[in-house]
Chain A
Amino acid sequence: MMMERFEVIVIGAGPAGLAAAIEAASNGMQVVVFDENSRPGGQLFKQIHKFFGSKEHHAKIRGFKIGEKFLQEAETLGVKVVLNASVIGIFQNREVSVMLGDRISHYRANAIVIATGASEKMIPFAGWTLPGVIGAGAAQTMMNIHGIRPGNRVLMVGSGNVGLVVGFQLIQAGCKLEAVIDAAPRIGGYGVHAAKIARLGVPFYLSHTIIGARGAEFVERATIAEVDQNWQQVPGTEKDLELDTICLAVGLTPMSQLARIAGCQVADLPQKGGMVPVCNAFGETSIPGIYATGDVAGIEEASSAMIQGKIAGAAISLAQGYLSAEDFQLRYASYDHSLGQLREGTFGHENKGRTDLKTTDDGYPLSQFLFRKGYLADGELSHYPGVPTSERLNQELMPVIECIQNIPCNPCQDACPQGCIVIGSTITNLPAINQSAKCSGCGMCVVSCSGQAIFLVDVNYAPGYAAISLPYEFKPLPAVGTSGVALDRSGAILGEAEVISVRKTAVMDETAILTMKVPVQWAMSARFFKQL
């Protein structure tokens, strides 16, 4: 049988698939990537927020820009990316069947990489089939790819990172985020992601589930209610919300059908999101020559997917004789270390599902208030190394870093030209203020923090007034002199505030630094400016 042969067939042009393709191609291999969508990049091009991690993890770069870089690299290396190509089956001897246009084609490969990603989990409720109920991925596609607002008044169901990040993006797109709800008693995603939304006044209803959506032809109202520890509805706690969009962000599950068709051994693992092919440390499944990488091998983040892809690409290169054993060992050690870093911390692999953590790895108290409310209580701040002492705050302009969970992330450290911020080699450490450095007020830390958790506070701005600088990523950008109100971390209005400076340069990559003047007693509580 005559069948076109490739050295490597990658299924899925998302971050994992592209990373594997680039790695293999960089070692001289002939690679083709099939993707069923009309655009490559998987979920990457929908991500408009700055990524976490360290420089090697593309920290502080927006997801879609990482995607653009990947595509360019793939093109330069001669990787063939075929779009609108659905792989419909994997058969014996690494044969792949592809539906492309109006025909089926068959290809053979020396190695196959399954990088098909994940699909969204569902929770059914009365009225969930009404127009207006959409997946969180759908909201991102509509807003960030097509420039369409999914609706005007949105309820976000799910408080994991997807719900929190997409919730913020809905607000950036001009929607009103009515609430974020979660059946769990704690917020599932990063505290900083929750805080970004909380300070805008979005309420979190934890231990709440959606009872139903109503409307004649599309969503017009929804009812939510509290649930107890047995997930049973608590009578009398129903709340009726008027809205037009309900966004589901209740988890992802691997799309592992192709791996199962190929005959790979699979395991149903809740911590990985569902049924995953069983792989070794290099991403190889139980079938020699077939690899699985990225979310399909276990739900993580895009940053992890990219490294996993590189590991698989390197392993294939070794197996096929394009990489020496020594070179492979060096690369693998570096990639494995990088991947390991991303899997540490408060939300790391070892802590997955844990609700009993009380301290950070470096010995600071983990704010339980933050888990329950989405923001830090005023009185908690002084515990943390990124918050200056009152003595220092009274003397000079200081950065205030409200980042208090162990997240592998350090662009703030690199951002400060004065060396004011210290994290160290363990990138999950809480950022600390360097007591011997002097803040120049440049605001680069404010702009570089992907969690938007850094503020500049100058209690001596003027008699009775403090100046607070904060990251601002909304339109319209208020002009200098604009009057408005200052909001605290919970989004409650403190009182009058005035914009005294707005800085936005190309290097800030769309994060403006807005400085507002507030009465000095609010210096450590005012954290957002709202134009009236």
Chain B
Amino acid sequence: MYRIEEHPILSAFPKGKLVKFAYDGKTLEGYEGEPIAMALKANGVMVHRYTSRHSQPRGVFCAIGRCTDCVMIVDGMLNVRTCIIPLQEGMKVQTQDGLEKKEQDD
């Protein structure tokens, strides 16, 4: 719903192959090499994490790896800046809750 199918100026967006990845236990599809956050956004995901102090939802804000609002747990690693780290097949992406995993789905 959020992928631009036909852009009036840009002929094509460089894309790798379509791959499957895990998001909070669900299987989603995205393009290999695009930022994880973009694959999530294409699937309608808005919330990336909840903050430590006040448990507030955060998502993409700067989109260039500067503000760290988009960080999630990726393949077990905390604080991964999803707006700049490229998606790979089979990645396990989880909503980060402060410094803890939000869903326990090991």
Contact = CB atoms under 8 A, between A and B. Distances in A.
A64 to B, nearest CB: 8
Contacts, number: 94
A147 B59 contact: no
Contacts of A475: 6-8
A116 to B, nearest CB: 12
Contacts of A473: 8-9
A150 B44 CA distance: 10
Nearest to B11: A510
Contacts of B63: 134-135, 137-138, 141-142
B80 interface: no
Interface in A164-181: 172-174
B64 interface: yes
Interface stretch (A125-133, A363-371, A453-461): A125-133
B4 A143 contact: yes
A146 B38 contact: yes
B38 A148 contact: yes
Given A172-B8, A172-B9, A217-B47, A138 B62 contact: yes
Interface string B33-75: 0110010011000111000000011111111111001000000
A218 B4 contact: no
A261 B56 CA distance: 34
B3 interface: yes
A135 B62 contact: yes
Binding site of A, secondary structure by majority: helix, strand, loop or mixed?
loop
B59 A146 contact: no
A54 B18 CA distance: 43
A382 interface: no
A476 interface: yes
Given A131-B48, A143-B4, A149-B3, A137 B62 contact: yes
A474 interface: yes
What's the dominant secondary structure at chain B's contact region? loop
A475 B64 CA distance: 27
B38 A217 contact: no
Nearest to B61: A134
A145 to B, nearest CB: 8
A144 interface: yes
A48 interface: yes
B6 A149 contact: no
A529 B63 CA distance: 34
A129 B9 contact: no
Interface residues of A, number: 37
A151 B63 CA distance: 14
A57 interface: no
A38 B33 CA distance: 12
A62 B9 contact: yes
B4 A510 contact: no
Contact of B41 (A148, A174, A217, A510): A148
B46 A173 contact: no
A151 B6 CA distance: 16
Nearest to A244: B46
B38 to A, nearest CB: 4
Contact of B47 (A133, A135, A173, A218): A218
Contact of B38 (A37, A132, A142, A174): A142
B35 A146 contact: yes
Given A135-B61, A138-B62, A217 B84 contact: no
Interface string B18-44: 000000000000000011001001100
A364 to B, nearest CB: 32
Contacts of A137: 62-64
Contact of B9 (A37, A48, A131): A48
Interface string A173-205: 110000000000000000000000000000000
Interface of A: 37-38, 48, 62, 119-120, 129-135, 137-138, 141-151, 172-174, 217-218, 473-477, 510
8 contacts: A130-B59, A132-B46, A137-B64, A146-B13, A148-B2, A174-B4, A473-B9, A510-B8
Given A37-B64, A146-B35, 14 more contacts: A48-B10, A120-B62, A130-B56, A131-B48, A131-B58, A134-B60, A134-B63, A137-B64, A147-B7, A148-B42, A217-B46, A473-B8, A475-B6, A475-B7
